[in-house]
A and B are shown apart, each in its own frame.
Chain A
Amino acid sequence: MSEPKSLVLVTVDCLRADHTGFMGYTQPTTPFLDQLAAESMVFPKAIAAGAPTYYSFPGILAARFPLALGREVVGIAPGEPTLATVLQQAGYRTAAYVAANPYLSNRFGYAQGFEVFRDFLSEELPYAGEAIPRVRTRLNQRIAELAHKVSVLGRLYDDLYFEYCQKMTASKSESWDSLRRFPAADFLVDQACDWLGSLGRQPFFLWLHFMDPHAPYYPPAEALKAMGSERILPERGRYLNAAWNRADLGVERLRKYRDEIVRLHDSGIRWVDTQLARLVEVLRNLSLWDSSVLVLTADHGEEFLDHGGRFHAPSQPYQEMLHVPLLMRVPGVKKVALSDAPFSHVHLAPTALEAIGIEPPQEFEGHSYWAEAQRGGDWELAVSESIGGCTNPMDAGKRMGARVLVAQDRRHKLVLDFDREQEELFDLESDPREVRALRPEEEKLARARLLRWALQHLHRPTRGFNRELALRARVREVGLEWKNSEMYSKTLAS
């Protein structure tokens, strides 16, 4: 192996593959990354190991399937090998700047292996956040109850009350920056550049996780302008986000907000792209660029009513959620066209490690496809999994729900939802948007092949190593779950 290179891992929250220019999007979200893609390995079909964030990241950083340690465990187990721990042990300097995503915090084990880990969850930041009072008076509650006895009146009441709340909480002095709930990409890149500037010639691992395309969608004004969406003003942005978040609206009524919401989301992507250009410029100026591998991907995508949903629910494992961009820029390596078969995120860490000259640990579930990537070789299929009903992993009860298991090869995709007792098989060639599940009698061979693969996934042996990691993680969670536990209630009641 040649001399170790440094590694920059960029993960973007909620970035679906088809919203990047280098994957065919027609909006100018990623002009810089499109240029970079021209000299990078671009994986045509990178697939998240799970969604959302808490089911995706064990695949990215620890090269294992999200439920491999049992559904009791969320995050990285204490002592589990990750990109960061492996590289720290190899003598790398390590730092992570994570844009205030609570599921990527130290409490879920993500700080392991990083000498600098900033998640910005409890710090003073140059953004204010937003607090909208949502308390209804007793009179209002009574009117709501009466109105909802007649469905048309209930709907009218909800609309009027929503408009009333928007008017009452609107402020003329609102700006995009004051509305934003997490640090924007420029803030993270500033921090990362300061750290890069402090390094000597030691190889380093830098992980940046951006939240700019994540809801609520409040991009910087500069990004909106770059996207030609500057006519959307902050007060409209706030209204749109509030409306998009309404639980009482059906798909048809939400549809009227969709285009503007997508514009806000896309502007968030554009801001990440702009800041990555700046990061690379700094790497060049520090003479680090020619010895650095840059990997860019997303933890999962985002739904804009594609299958009737919004945001990124674990019960919606369609391609807008699982198909993510993945590019790997490796200096000195000739660009080749990569296989268009699904490439699972669980193979990303070992492949990236081999690309920088570090041997991946045996404990990883995924394995390196570095050799195949260099010669344009093939890989076969991808499995993704999550707990469909787990929208809040802090709630231990929800974590124990039924699995949603997805197996896909180049052409077919099987979705097994054990909660809804539903099985869907799609032909992605003739139906890339997954609009029509095949009838049970269609494509029996493909169905059986993917069912077998799903079974093999569930039958893979639980290693002693995994059992120990699971136990360590559960010991950690005894403390975390204290307030939600049944025993806690019993303890207080006794």
Chain B
Amino acid sequence: MKKHTFNRIEGSGTWVTIQLDGESLPAVQGEPLAVAILCHSTDALRTSAHSCSPRSPYCLIGSCFECLATVDGRANVQTCLIEVCAGMRVNRQAGKREFG
């Protein structure tokens, strides 16, 4: 596996596959979704609602709301607070969410 700033401990658990903007990536079942995203890439996950500046997961404890993404069609999900499940469909967001 390609090495990034964020690496999992060997033998973390069961590997599953999730989709990020249609791209398949490996993740460990039950880990915080934000962690799976950071391990894959530290590029910006979204652009902010007001100034459209680039943002990425930051606090990882549910406080900062920087890790928002669209998960299985639901916008503005705090990805640090939900666990990875096999087949999750994650989409990056740009600016404010729309009504579904």
Note whether A and B form a binding pair. no
